[in-house]
């Protein structure tokens, strides 16, 4: 149900509203470190997707939250996108969703029917993910924002971290890139309805289905692609010790996103990601549009999976049956300590 209130449109919404990696890292370094705990398996000192706390030898709790302003005019669609994005961290870490709490900011003088549609969209995605919507918290704000606090569970020995890649791993991406470019371009009349639908279909597809397949194979590392773009989240996986070589022609993307990037219809978030990575990424050929797509902040992006090479083909055969387009995009090698380059794009 599209909104009739023009002020509901927020071009700089979704994960494009995320604080840049460089600024965020500087802030976090200045904060006092929390007390160490043997039960906190993944926490404050990690760049991982969520926190993980061990309850016992069989169960660990995954805790995450995500919310942002809208990037679309349809409140029901916004609710689905925001919830799908928030739920993704649990799937990226190999877990199952248990409970969720709504996080709501909404203008005091706005139409409450809009908020009802946002919450309806979010609730449907929580149910699809297998979780229980257990409550939430709301405040008045000048701009609508929505997301979820999510609790998941995983066996302690089955946790998938984003920084455990191994030499020889094959990289698989489970959704096409470019949604961060497409949505604002659509909002300003630069791309058609078909391109917009491709973006929103991707953003409302749960990573649960790719994660269900991933669990059947010896995956070394996984993350989901969100505000730091493919390039930024891949450098987190490499953590300065490994190097990734990507094959440009294999990287899935929405075609119109590449065309928009070539016409300099890009985002501020993409520029922040480019500035942060600097010389850590080497494009071996000149293609500005491709670069922008790799830096593009993704809202509810796909999983980036590092799997042992002997299992890549069989995993891909199953991933190809899903509605989103997956692809083998590169491989991992050990990095020369004297080499600044972490990602090479051929």
User: Which residue ranges make up the annotated binding site for Mg(2+)?
Assistant: 49, 89, 224
Give the distance between the most distant pair of CA atoms in the chain: 58
Enumerate the β-bridge partners of residue 182.
Answer: none
d(CA 328, CA 6): 41
Task: Encode 16-67 in three state secondary structure.
Answer: HHCCCHHHHHHHHHCCCCCCCCCCEEECCCCCCCCEEEECCCCCEEEEEEEE
State how beta strands 60-69 and 96-106 pair: unpaired
Distance CA 322, CA 57 (A): 33
Tell me, yes or no, if 260 is annotated catalytic. Answer: no
Catalytic residue among 15, 100, 222, 260: 15
H/E segment holding residue 81: helix 75-92
199-238 in b/e form (b: 16+ CB < 10 A) is bbebbbbbbbbbbebbeeeebbbbbbbbbbbbbbbbbbbb
**Binding region:** 18, 46-49, 66, 89, 136-138, 224
The length of the chain in residues reads 346
- Report CA torsion sign: 37, 38, 44, 50: negative
> Which amino acids are annotated as binding site for ATP, given as ranges?
18, 46-48, 66, 89, 136-138
Active site residues: 15
């Amino acid at each position: 149900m599209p909104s009739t209130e023009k002020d509901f449109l927020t071009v700089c919404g979704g994960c494009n509203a995320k604080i840049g990696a460089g600024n965020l890292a500087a802030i976090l370094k200045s904060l006092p470190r929390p007390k160490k705990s043997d039960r906190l398996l993944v926490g404050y000192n990690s760049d991982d997707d969520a926190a993980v706390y061990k309850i016992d030898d069989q169960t660990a709790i995954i805790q995450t939250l995500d919310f942002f302003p809208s990037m679309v005019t349809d409140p029901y669609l916004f609710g689905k996108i925001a919830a799908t994005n928030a739920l993704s961290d649990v799937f990226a870490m190999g877990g199952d969703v248990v409970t969720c709490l709504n996080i709501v900011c909404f203008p005091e003088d706005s139409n409450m029917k809009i908020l009802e549609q946002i919450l309806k969209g979010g609730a449907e995605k929580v149910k699809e993910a297998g979780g229980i919507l257990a409550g939430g918290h709301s405040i008045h704000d000048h701009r609508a924002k929505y997301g979820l606090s999510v609790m998941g569970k995983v066996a302690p020995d089955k946790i998938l971290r984003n920084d455990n890649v191994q030499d020889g791993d094959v990289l698989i991406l489970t959704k096409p890139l470019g949604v961060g470019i497409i949505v604002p371009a659509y909002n300003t009349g630069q791309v058609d309805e078909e391109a917009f639908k491709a973006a929103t279909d991707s953003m409302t597809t749960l990573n649960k289905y790719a994660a269900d397949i991933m669990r059947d194979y010896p995956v070394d590392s996984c993350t989901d692609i969100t505000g730091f773009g493919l390039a930024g989240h891949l450098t987190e996986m490499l953590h300065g010790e490994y190097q990734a070589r990507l094959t440009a022609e294999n990287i899935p993307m929405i075609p119109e996103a590449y065309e928009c990037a070539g016409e300099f219809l890009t985002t501020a978030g993409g520029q922040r990601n480019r500035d942060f990575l600097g010389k850590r990424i080497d494009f071996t050929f000149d293609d500005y549009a491709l670069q922008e797509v790799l830096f593009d902040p993704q809202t509810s992006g796909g999983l980036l999976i590092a799997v042992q090479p002997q299992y890549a083909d069989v995993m891909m055969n199953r991933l190809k049956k899903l509605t989103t387009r997956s692809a083998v995009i590169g491989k991992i090698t050990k990095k020369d300590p004297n080499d600044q380059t972490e990602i090479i794009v051929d």
